[in-house]
Structure 1
Amino acid sequence: MKNCLNTLLLLLFALSAAAQTFTRRDTLQGGLRPERTSYDVQRYDLNITINPDKKYISGYNDITFNVVAETAKIQVDLFENMQVDSIVFENKVLEYKRDNDAVFIHFPKSLAEKSEQKICFYYSGNPVIARNAPWDGGFIFSQDSNNKPWIGVAVQGTGASLWYPVKDTQTDEPDQGATIKVAVPNGLMDVSNGSLLGRTNLGNGYTRWDWEVKNPINNYDITVNIADYAHIHDNLNGLDLDYYVLQENKDKAAKQFEEVKPMLECFQEKFGPYPFYEDGYKLVETPYLGMEHQSAVAYGNKYKKGYLGNDLSYSGIGMLFDYIIVHESGHEWFGNSITSSDIADMWIHEAFTTYAESVYVECRYGYEKAQKYINGEGRNVLNDKPIIGIFGVNKEGSGDMYFKGALMLNTMRHIVNDDNKWWEILHNFAVFFHNSVLNSQSVVNYFSTQSGISFTPVFNQYLHYTQIPVLQLKVSGNKLQYRWQTDEPNFTMPVEISVDGKTIRLQSTNHWQKTKIACKTLEDITVATDKFYVKVQKL
């Protein structure tokens, strides 16, 4: 039966994809073909110059890779508005063919399986400028209050190949990390991922800032941040904490960022050690709201509590902390350490990280406030389309992956009905899949195995369909009857109800079941919709 249901789901996905229009560019960006799967990236060594006045990038990326299957052609990606200057292999310039944003590189002879190879990809151009970062991808060229350049980039979803040559798929992270060397005009600083190796005055009016990432890293996480930054250093039990902020905001930042230590202590307790200890933790002030750039978290919340001074939970609790610090830092565990193999499974990043917000609230302020917060966020759920997107075409699903996804996890906690066990499962999930690329099925399998509960129907209903489960209740012969109404066939999930102040746990399915509970009117029944994200229909 399970195999039949999986086949049915795949068919539904195929029909959904067929009903939409996808271009060759979409399939080149989102799909896997031999030119991508034949090699495994080991490291990127990016060395570029950024001219703020001309909004221009020039330089190269050394791409070191292992050959997985013998091949004479590979695909590297670079947006078609950017210029390919040359691609060099063993001191020879290679031939290539461009197809939309894909660059198909031809080698003079086949590369042997299991061999290590390296190409140097020279490029230049004016990268796409974001209209409204971080919601659309691109560069942000702005100025601080002293009219000095203030530059950032955010490309999640749009693609890292918007600004540098890269194997632009989440399936492959550089196993050995990366170096990011960025030359900027003297008087400015570049802050990128990882640890600062040093800086070099190039003698031409530019200084190059050299950064090294020792861990695997998402394509979209690699970043540059350019400004006249002030630097604040701190430490948490041996973990380097570094903050780079505009000069005029140094005092405000020192106060606002006091929240980092209790947040990291909470997350390490609940999700395991900070995943990128060797690379340190950084907050970098940016001219856009924020982004989870690994070990260089982008911060643009203007030193306000909540989300730019607003409470996304409508409960007042969201004003107790800085949303961007907490949310974007939560991505270090979910999204950066644990990464979905396809953007269609981006819920793995966003649901767990949004759930992490309520985890932080619980660490600081207790269970009741955490439940009030996460349920308040439910007002943002649209139930407009499935959370899981279309695979192979760089198409993510509904924005409900944030709040609805978090409420699904909160529901799962109460299905488990044992907090010690729940926290152990969640902690071990983050630790076991440290620096892993995975898909939804891996998540379903893990939580089902570790809990001893088949979570497949629960994940399917919340992720693959628009509507949430509806608990139908009716009275027959003075006895309470109940069932689930769902899109997912053979759905089963427990739920708590209260009758005259007494809590009862129902093991509900799609079939009507009768309780022994004497009940004259449904007004006597209360469903724990704060613990289970469901609708209730009293018939």
Structure 2
Amino acid sequence: MIQKVIAGVLILVGISANAQLLQEKEKYTKADTLRGSLRKERNFDVLHYTLDVKVEPEKKYISGSNIIGFVPNEELTDIQIDLYANMNVDSIIFDGKPLKYTREFDAVFIHFPQPLEKEVTSIQFYYSGNPTIAKHAPWDGGFVFTKSESGLPWIATACQGAGASLWWPNKDHQSDEPNNGMDIFVTVPNTLMDVSNGRLMGSVPVDEEYTKWHWAVTNPINNYDVALNIGDYTHFGENYKGLDMDFYVLKENLEKAKVHFEEVKPMMDCFQEKFGTYPFKEDSYKLVETPHLGMEHQSAVAYGNKYLKGYLGNDLSRTGVGLLWDFIIIHETGHEWYGNSITAKDIADMWIHEGFTTYSEAVYIECRWGYEKAQTYLNGMKLSIQNDRPVIGDYGVNKEGSGDMYNKGAMLVNTLRHIINDDEKWWKILKDYTLHFKHQTVTTEQVVSYFEEASGLTLKPVFDQYLRYTTIPVLQLKQDGKHVMYRWETAVPNFSMPFKITNNGKTEMLQATNDWKKLKKSKLKNIKVDTDHFYIKTQIL
């Protein structure tokens, strides 16, 4: 009975683990293209957002505005800003005058009286409405309206995949983050507080019923990371080795949280050693208790794991190792480096977020409990890989690939480590990669190119096999007289990758291609192929 429950959780996480995946579509619509493509109307660079929104809990209603500062990359007479069709556009102001606009699906096309030059400009976009309510956050996007044990409203947002434009107007594409960060003003009832991204700048009473909270984000931030967390919060925190760490939890959970969140310290020690300094130090690090399981909201990581070890008390790896630590704290914070600092330009490349972040779980285990336990954990995670469809999705239509982006992506990263076969070199490459692309949006091609150059190896066929095909490399072996013959069977042509064997007790690395090679004077019965550190299959012919 317990096994069935755990397996059910594993299937769920294997598909989505804390980031919403869009449903499979056989064909794409114009709405998909409007959301996913970089059309001419989106050829501008966002500099800053000033979001000012009021939340009325009883009505489940929001209203406010966003000042969008941007620079056109070419002469533009129209720009596209995104806002879900169920939300009202109240007015759009430019130079003190209202602009004309048209709406198509979830896109708002704004028309300027004169072409915009390549210079800094801004518009103020007023809007209101009842935003989408998530049915099962964080796996579907939207608002969560609930109440805490105190009986007071407890509200949060989670909108990865579905898009931030479900609740605020913006250029809703992962490729463009506001260069100069953003200011977030949130007005809530006086009995509550809002916790958003960045640093708290203060709060001011608006009237007898409402207070406005101001948060400022210094660094670039992706739209889906922008979050509201509204509740009966209390705060504690400290400066840990030069990093401000703040924790916002429901008042009834304060003492429990003070003990449980101690895990953040060894995690930070590990991640900063392996990946580089926390990438949003200027904005502080926060954990915020939420009514949903969790999400990597930049500098305001959402936490809803109920102060349990593992994933809601379950071990995703089914090895016991997953119960040594709190999955949500580690996984979602890992996203601060992989997903928030390094962001995929197109949602089709989300493996860049999830593969490296899932691998960060094993990195944390290795820091605290050693290499063997980390590898045991990774091998246990293999059981959740479906190999159902390619890890990379379709470009330009807001389409993620397979949920295997998590565990299969981590297996790819772990395989790369053992292909390189030099841990000192591996950790340097991983850290340099993380620092090189800090605060940037990237593509799969850029990632592959970096690892090839840093390692001095031809790795594109390896990345392609794991990311663009459902099959993994199959090492075929056969006895040929006194010799063992071996080769790779792959979907990628001209494939070449090393593997490791133990032959009569002696370990060696061999390089295989799609052509047969000979291992002289050997017997199959004496050979054991390393499938623990290389995500491959073997086939005896």
TM range (shorter): over 0.9
Shift of 1:19: 9.2
Out of 153, 161, 182, the position equivalent to 1:149 is 153
- Are the counterparts in 1 of residues 70 and 121 from structure 2 also a CA contact under 8 Å? yes
Q: Which residue of 1 aligns with 2:534?
A: 532
Instruction: Please say if residues 200 and 215 of structure 2, whose CA atoms lie closer than 8 Å, have aligned partners that are also in contact.
Output: yes
Count matched residues.
518
Specify whether residues 345 and 54 from structure 1 end up closer, same or farther in structure 2 by C-alpha distance, changes over 3 A only.
same
1-structure distance, mates of 2:26, 2:493:
25
SS in 2 for 1:210: strand
| Deviations, residues 411-439 of structure 1 (Å, cap 9, x unaligned) | 00000000000000000001010000000
Alignment CA distance shift 1:19-1:435 (3 Å): closer
Structure 1 residues 11-410: aligned runs within 5 Å: 20-37=26-43, 39-113=44-118, 115-410=119-414
State the alpha-carbon separation in 2 of the partners of residues 463 and 200 from structure 1: 50
Deviations 1:159-211 (A, max 9, x none): 10000000000010000000110000001000000000000011140001100
Per-residue displacement from partner, 1:495-536 (whole Å, max 9, x unpaired)? Answer: 0011121112110001111111321xx232211111100001
Q: Distance in 2 between matches of 1:290 and 1:318?
A: 17
Structure 2 CA distance for aligned equivalents of residues 451 and 357 of structure 1: 23
Percent identity between the two aligned chains: 59
Could you tell me whether the CA contact under 8 Å between 2:482 and 2:520 is conserved in 1?
no
How many Å separate the matches in 1 of 2:88 and 2:426?
Answer: 51
Matching residue's letter, 2:269: E
Structure 2: how far apart are the matches of 1:513 and 1:19? 42
- Separation in 2 of the partners of 1:400 and 1:286? 26
In the alignment, structure 2 segments of 5+ residues that lack a partner are 1-23
Question: For 1:106 and 1:419, how far apart are their aligned partners in 2?
Answer: 56
Query: Residue in 1 aligned with 2:478?
Result: 474
Distance across 1 between alignment mates of 2:259 and 2:493: 52
- SS in structure 1 at match of 2:397: coil
| 2-structure distance, mates of 1:527, 1:290 | 38
C-alpha distance in structure 1 between counterparts of 2:487 and 2:278, whole Å: 43
> d(CA) in 2 for partners of 1:274 and 1:308?
26
Q: What are the superposed Cα offsets for residues 376-405 of structure 1, whole Å, 9 maximum, x if unpaired?
A: 111110000000000000000000000010
Question: CA–CA distance in 2 between the matches of 1:134 and 1:527?
Answer: 40
- The one of the two structures with greater contact order (alpha-carbon pairs below 8 A, sep at least 6) is 2
Q: Counterpart of 1:66 in structure 2: which amino acid?
A: V
2:503–2:528: 8 Å Cα contact kept in structure 1? yes
Matches of 1:335 and 1:204, distance apart in 2: 40
| Distance in 2 separating the partners of 1:237 and 1:503 | 42
Quick one: structure 1 residues 489 and 19, their matched pair in 2 at CA, closer, same or farther if it must change by over 3 Å? Answer: farther
The separation in 2 between residues aligned to 1:270 and 1:173, in whole angstroms, is: 26
Counterparts of 2:199 and 2:496, CA distance in 1: 49
SS in structure 2 of the partner of residue 442 of structure 1? helix
Distance across 2 between alignment mates of 1:152 and 1:40: 28
Give 3-state SS (helix, strand or coil) of 2:336's partner.
coil
Q: Distance in 2 between matches of 1:270 and 1:398?
A: 28
Q: Which amino acid aligns with 1:535?
A: K
Q: Deviations over 1:335-381 (max 9, x none)?
A: 00000000000000000000000000000011111110111111110
Counterparts of 1:105 and 1:112 in 2: how far apart (Å)? 15
Question: Distance between the aligned counterparts of 1:501 and 1:158, measured in 2?
Answer: 53
Paired letter, 2:36: G
CA distance in 1, matches of 2:373, 2:321: 7
1:20 to partner: Cα distance: 2.8
Residue 11 of structure 2: aligned partner? none
**What is the alpha-carbon distance in structure 1 between the residues aligned to residue 194 and residue 244 of structure 2?**
18
Q: Per the alignment, in what secondary structure is the counterpart of residue 518 of structure 1? A: coil
SS in 1 for 2:46: strand
| 3-state DSSP of counterpart to 2:337 | coil
Contact 2:183–2:217 (8 Å) recurs in 1: yes
SS in 2 for 1:130: coil
Which one-letter code corresponds to 1:86 in the other structure?
A: S
Secondary structure of the structure 2 residue equivalent to 1:328: helix
| Mapped partners of 1:291, 1:432: distance in 2 | 25
Quick one: distance in 1 between partners of 2:288 and 2:29?
Answer: 36
Name the Cα RMSD after superposition.
1.0
Q: What secondary structure is seen at the aligned counterpart in 2 of 1:331? A: helix
Determine helix, strand or coil for the equivalent of 1:278: helix
Cα drift, residue 36 of structure 1: 0.1
CA–CA separation in structure 2 for the residues paired with 1:179 and 1:265:
30
**Cα distance in 2, alignment partners of residues 307 and 19 from structure 1:** 29
Q: Pick which of 235-244 and 281-290 moved more.
A: 235-244
> Structure 1 CA distance, aligned partners of 2:238 and 2:394?
43
Shift of 1:236: 1.2
SS of equivalent to 1:531: coil
Q: Which ranges of 4 or more aligned residues in structure 1 deviate by more than 6 Å?
A: none
Q: SS state of the match for residue 493, structure 1?
A: strand
